[in-house]
Amino acid sequence: MLFNSIEFALFLPVVFLLYWFVFHKSIRYQNTLILIASYFFYGWWNWRFLLLILLSTLIDYIIGLSLENEEDDVKRKFLLFTSIGVNIGLLGVFKYYNFFAESFAAAFSLFGTPFDPIRLNIILPIGISFYTFQTLSYSIDIYWRKLEATRDFISFAAFVSFFPQLVAGPVERAKNLLPQFHKNRVFDYHNPTNGLRQILWGLFKKIVIADNCAVYANLTFDNTMDYSGSTLALGAVLFAFQIYCDFSGYSDIAIGTAKLFGFKLMQNFAYPHFSRDIAEFWRRWHISLSTWFRDYLYIPMGGSRVSKVKRIRNVFIIFIIGGFWHGADIKFLAYGSLHALYILPLIILGKNRKNLDVVAYGKFLPSIRDVFDMGTTFCLRVFALIIFRAASIEDAFIFMSRLFTKELFSLPSIEVQNESSLVLYSLILIFNLIEWVHRDKEFALSNLNLHIVLRWSFYIIIILLICFYKSPTSENFIYFQF
Amino acid sequence: MYLFLKRCFLFLFITFLIIYAFVSYHKVERANYRQTYLHGIIDKHQLLDTTSSPRIIIVGGSNNAFGIDSEMIENEFNLPVVNLSINGGLGLYYMLGEVVSETRKGDIVLLSIEYFAKDNRNFLVNKLRSFPELLQYSSHYNIVNKVDLKISAAFKHVQTGILEYIYTYLPDRNVPEKPKPPKVPIYYRKAFNSNGDVISHLDLEGHLEKSDRQYYPYKYWEQIDDLNKFIRTTRKRGAEVFYLFPTYAKSFFMQDAESLKLLELDIKTNLNVVVLNELESFVYPDSLFFDSNFHLTGKGRHQRTLDLIEILSNNEDFRLQIAQSN
């Protein structure tokens, strides 16, 4: 079930009303409803993959309890590796098997013994990378004795499959989300209204900005040979807006939906396009995954308390794994490595934690230096996204080679500067302005200090844009494929 | 809680009124709308309803509508032929939904679907604006889908109206238009014969602009599963299904050959039905196509029908099915 579908528009109010009016007498009832609703939500897409979630839930539930009761270090390690093995194993089979099988075959053929690898013709279960990492955080935190194992299976199963963030995050930490399933939830007027605002803003980002940008981005990336450098550059910039509004839009809807049920999920995006360097960008982009890697990989490897050489090694490992997390493709490895290269000078010069505050905090306009830094970071990001978006690494190189020609300074093709696209560019401008003004808030529409008439008028304009400026092609959420 | 719900309802009510006002203001003008090419669907379904079984039903997109002479097939196999195909833009699910609940015992369904066809929501939304009954001819859409598509169509119409209004205030860009060949009326409701074949194009000369663009990058065609589901249901109803690769213009085929060959392999491996022809069986020179790489001229149509009859006659499974049906 997609957040931007009519099915979800029917499903959400029904679950909301049942949750607060029928199942409100005990949190056990509410958790049971969340579990049923989550399985229904996921099963709507493909019920057979519910078995995978159930398997992952059962194994981590049992291992969690065993880890807590076990005192022997060797046995504890064995239990932890079993959990990691099963979870990563499932991910490996569904997501990475074909890639490795083909890579091995290619390697063998280099030595003169070609063979045809057995390929698995299976579809990737939606959200597997997200819920796998979430359950892993549970086992690891218990192993580190940072979290107590839960005995309440319903709560645990609801935590693993919590429908607002099941298929594309935020990747929640057990420490943050699981205790919320054990706490009594009381209806508080401000929480769900804030949630509805966040859902509205997420839908606007996805349907109005992302899907409309996709039309032009797809045009340029699918027909690279037909367009000049300037058109390709515009296509790449539009893809940067597409992926940001698509993914952060999804996160906003997820976080907003969770608020309707009295849950607080972690912030996943903090206006990354207003970052002044790449390190700041990664503190603001897909925060839940970046911090997951920081907490469960980077810090255990020594983090920043090791020598500079080791730190650089650690950063490369994190970014390469981060790239590979997106999918079994050499282009994602290149995408991760390029970001590691971007961040390298900052680490060497010790400037990776220079920009920790909000840009131009308390001011309306940024300084020229800030504008330059934000512009440079955005350009670096757009360049990396070419690798991400291209169909393959070869296509990315073709795109880049056609991008950097003297035609880069010509007028873009008429197809990306027609009347329809001019409306889109105006909307992107307005969107960025709204985000800029609210860049110190959780999301752009939180705490709007306007009279109710103005506020409601603003919301209605957004709804009208969502209804009437919907893209001709409704794209799937990009991160569903991961 | 009640304050929250009260405010939600009030807000939704105001929003609904405003949207309703927009939609009413931009009402679709439907003068003469029932005479478009796509409205041929109404006549085709009437034909399907009135043709007694056993019959041969041809399902797919415009490659069949323009490229088959059903009368020749009728004469060859002594079974009535209904060419239900009209436009691949309707999408695979629409096309399958048109026939799945209409098949009866002894019917033979010839599926010749354009490559990698899947759902085509955008096309449906656009067409629903002037053809609101379109969805009733396909059993694929449930009530939720129908409401969703119809609301989208209404919104789409308002969107078009508003954008056109905005464009009038934008500076004129003076984009030079490509010269277009003189228009011969081809696409209209009465373009079909009594079998459902298009006949308005039969006198046209071949004219197809070459392309150096690949149209079909390879990706596993996930809709094979849906086709298998369709085949199972159709068989349960006592009908039999055969699959045929569609017509395609030679120069286009050369561009797409690599991915289409992989598609052929996937279909032959995974589709639970007899595949009657080879991928290249209906690939013809560009001179036999006119306005699209799937639309054969009258000459091409004749050639394709002859080839089709030969393929059908030489296939043992098809012959057996014909014998049983007769």
Instruction: Give per-10-residue mean pLDDT for chain B (326 aa).
Output: 90 90 70 78 94 94 95 94 94 93 92 91 86 89 85 81 72 57 77 94 85 75 92 93 95 90 92 93 93 92 95 92 82
Hey, how many other C-beta atoms are within 10 angstroms of the C-beta on B125? 22
Establish if A247 belongs to a structural domain.
yes
pLDDT digits (tens, 9 = 90+) for B258-294: 889 999 999 999 999 999 999 999 999 999 999 889 9
Whether residue A180 is found in the same domain as residue A232: no
Residue A225: inside a domain: yes
Statement: residue A457 has pLDDT above 80 = yes
- The DSSP bridge partners found for residue B284 are B249
Which of A182, A326, A339, A438 is an active site residue?
A326
Amino acid at A344: L
A118 CB within 8 Å of a chain B CB: no
Mutate to test the interface with B, among A419, A422, A424, A474 (most CBs of B within 10 A): A419
| Contact criterion met (CB below 8 Å) for A60 and A66 | no
Confidence of residue A356 (pLDDT cuts 50, 70, 90): confident
Three-state DSSP at B287 gives helix
In a domain, A329, yes or no: no
Residue A137: the pLDDT is 92
Lowest mean pLDDT, pick from A71-80, A209-218, A321-330, B260-269? A321-330
Q: Are A239 and A182 within one domain?
A: no
Output DSSP code: residue B62.
Answer: H
Report d(CA B209, CA B217) in Å as an integer.
Answer: 20
User: Mapped to the 3 state alphabet, what secondary structure does chain A carry?
Assistant: CCCCCHHHHHHHHHHHHHHHHHCCCCHHHHHHHHHHHHHHHHHHHHHHHHHHHHHHHHHHHHHHHHHHHCCCHHHHHHHHHHHHHHHHHHHHHHHHHHHHHHHHHHHHHHCCCCCCCCCCCCCCCCCHHHHHHHHHHHHHHHHCCCCCCCCCHHHHHHHHHCHHHCCCCCCCCHHHHHHHHHCCCCCCCHHHHHHHHHHHHHHHHHHHHHHHHHHHHHHHHHCHHHCCHHHHHHHHHHHHHHHHHHHHHHHHHHHHHHHHCCCCCCCCCCCHHHCCCHHHHHHHCCHHHHHHHHHHHHCCCCCCCCCHHHHHHHHHHHHHHHHHHCCCCHHHHHHHHHHHHHHHHHHHCCCCCCCCCCCCCCCCCCCHHHHHHHHHHHHHHHHHHHHHHCCCHHHHHHHHHHHCCHHHHCCCCHHHCCHHHHHHHHHHHHHHHHHHHCCCCCCCCCCCCCCHHHHHHHHHHHHHHHHHCCCCCCCCCHHHHC
Tell me which of A122, A467, A469 to substitute to probe the interface with B (most B C-beta atoms closer than 10 Å). A467
Nearest to A474 among B11, B121, B158 (CB): B121
- Give the residue among A134, A226, A127 at the shortest CA–CA distance from A171: A134
When CB atoms are compared, the residue of A226, A463, A470 closest to B15 is A463
Instruction: Report yes or no: A438 and A252 within 8 Å, Cβ to Cβ.
Output: no
A442 and A376 inside one domain: yes
How does DSSP classify residue B201? T
Mean pLDDT for A120-144 is 85
Residue of A nearest to B211 (CA): A226
pLDDT at A219 over 90: no
Domains of chain B: 40-120+193-325 (3.40.50.1110)
Instruction: Judge if A166 and A199 occupy the same domain.
Output: no
The one-letter amino acid code at A207 reads I
Dump pLDDT digits (tens) for A244-270.
Answer: 999 999 999 999 999 999 999 999 999
Find out whether B234 and B103 touch, Cβ atoms under 8 Å.
Answer: yes
Contacts of B151 in chain A (CB under 8 A): 6
Instruction: Return d(Cα B100, Cα A249) in angstroms, integer.
Output: 38
Question: Which residue among A170, A187, A204 closes a domain?
Answer: A187
Does residue A272 have a cis bond before it (omega within 30 degrees)? Answer: no
What is the mean pLDDT of the segment spanning A367-387? 95
What's the angle, vertex CA A419, arms to CA A415 and CA A421, rounded to 5?
60
Closest residue on chain A to B175 (Cα): A414
Kindly state whether residues A32 and A103 are assigned to the same domain.
yes
* Distance in angstroms (rounded) separating the CA atoms of residues B62 and B295: 7
- Number of structural domains chain A divides into: 2
Lowest mean pLDDT among A200-204, A209-213, B28-32, B138-142: B28-32
C-alpha pair distances (Å), A263 with each of A35, A39, B25 = 14, 18, 42
> Counting one residue from A and one from B, how many pairs have CB atoms under 8 Å apart?
65
Summarize the confidence of residues A229-243 as an average pLDDT: 93
| pLDDT value, residue A263 | 95
Chain B residues close to A459, C-beta within 8 Å: 11
Question: Is the same domain home to A181 and A105?
Answer: yes
Which are the contacts of A280, defined by CB distance < 8 A and separation ≥ 6? A354, A355, A356, A377
Are B166 and A423 within 8 A, CB to CB?
A: yes
Check A468 against B4: CB less than 8 A apart: no
A164 and A248 inside one domain? no
Q: Which of A187, A209, A235 finishes a domain?
A: A187
**Which residues make Cβ contacts (< 8 Å) with residue A155, sequence separation at least 6?**
A31, A178, A181, A182
Q: Is residue A338 part of a domain?
A: no
A34 found inside a domain: yes
Return d(Cα B326, Cα B319) in angstroms, integer: 10
Name B264's Cβ contacts closer than 8 Å, sequence gap at least 6.
B245, B278, B279
Report yes or no on A267 lying in a domain. yes
**A158: in domain:** yes
The pTM of this model reads: 0.76
pLDDT at A474 exceeding the cut of 70: no
State the alpha helices, DSSP H only, in B105-203. Answer: 121-128, 143-167
Are residues B155 and A467, on separate chains, in Cβ contact within 8 Å?
yes
DSSP SS3 for B308: helix
- Looking at per-residue confidence, does A223 or B40 come out higher? B40
Question: Last residue of some domain: A136, A168, A187?
Answer: A187
Q: Which chain B residue is nearest to residue A472, measuring alpha carbons?
A: B122
Q: Is the pLDDT of residue A129 over 60?
A: yes
Q: Is residue A331 part of a domain?
A: no
B14 at the A interface (CB within 8 A)? Answer: yes
Assign A417 a pLDDT band (cuts: 50, 70, 90): low
Residue A198 shares a structural domain with residue A176: no
Total residues found in chain B within this entry = 326
Q: Which of A189, A196, A468 sits opposite B155 (nearest CB)?
A: A468
H or E segment at B234?
Answer: helix B224-236
Contacts of residue A474 in chain B, CB cutoff 8 Å? 121-122
pLDDT in tens, A268-277: 999 999 999 9
**Residue in A with minimal Cα distance to B2:** A189
Q: Based on the residue annotation, tell me whether A339 is a catalytic residue of this protein.
A: no
- pLDDT on residue B291: 85
| Domain span including residue A371 | 191-276+355-481
Number of helices and strands in chain B (H, E): 11, 7
For A464, name the nearest residue in chain B, comparing CA atoms only.
B19
**DSSP-derived 3-state class of residue B273:** coil
Residue A111 sits in the same domain as residue A253: no
Interchain proximity B15–A460, CB inside 8 Å: yes
Q: How confident is the model at residue A120 (pLDDT cuts 50, 70, 90)?
A: low
From the list A123, A189, A422, which residue is nearest B4 (CB)? A189
Of B3, B144, B270, the CB nearest to A189: B3
Shared domain for A377 and A395, answered yes or no, is yes
Nearest-neighbour CA in chain B from A456: distance (Å): 8
A221 shares a domain with A170: no
Beginning with the edge strand found earlier in the chain, give each strand of the sheet holding B240-243 in spatial order.
B81-83, B56-60, B108-112, B240-243, B274-275
Q: Is B148 in contact with A391 (Cβ distance < 8 A)?
A: no
- Nearest residue of A to residue B21, measured between CA atoms: A464
Mean pLDDT, chain A, rounded, equals 88
Calpha distance A459→A198 (Å, rounded): 11
Q: How far separated are the first and last CA of chain B, in Å rounded?
A: 69
A123 vs B: CB within 8 A: yes
Question: What is the reported pLDDT for A126?
Answer: 79
Which residues in chain A touch residue B173, judged by CB atoms under 8 angstroms apart?
A: 414, 418-419
A225 and A85, same structural domain? no
Q: Please answer yes or no on whether A187 and B156 come within 8 Å at the CB atom.
A: no
